[in-house]
């Protein structure tokens, strides 16, 4: 669809936007996956202070 507009700057803009979106998406996905194990261990051990600390470190 963008290729029909005739100007290469539109294709470049879409490519740049896709690059930024992908980078942000994978960054937040990494934080989610990296935090899951630590919070699961703290919850399984019923360690409330460590659970709060793990979630706090993930959001910092």
- Among 28, 30, 3, 29, smallest CA distance to 15 is for 3
Is the pLDDT reported for residue 59 higher than 80?
Answer: no
Please, what is the Cα angle at 37 between 29 and 26, to 5 degrees?
A: 10
Q: pTM of the predicted model, to two decimals?
A: 0.52
pLDDT tens figures, 27-55: 888 777 778 888 899 999 999 999 999 88
**Domain ranges (residues) in the chain:** 2-59
pLDDT tens figures, 6-32: 889 999 999 999 999 999 998 888 777
């Amino acid at each position: 669809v963008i290729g029909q507009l005739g100007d290469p700057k539109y294709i470049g803009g879409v490519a740049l936007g896709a690059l930024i979106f992908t980078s942000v998406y994978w960054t937040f996905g990494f934080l989610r996956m990296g935090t899951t194990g630590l919070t699961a261990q703290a919850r399984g051990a019923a360690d409330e202070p460590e659970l709060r600390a793990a979630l706090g470190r993930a959001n910092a």
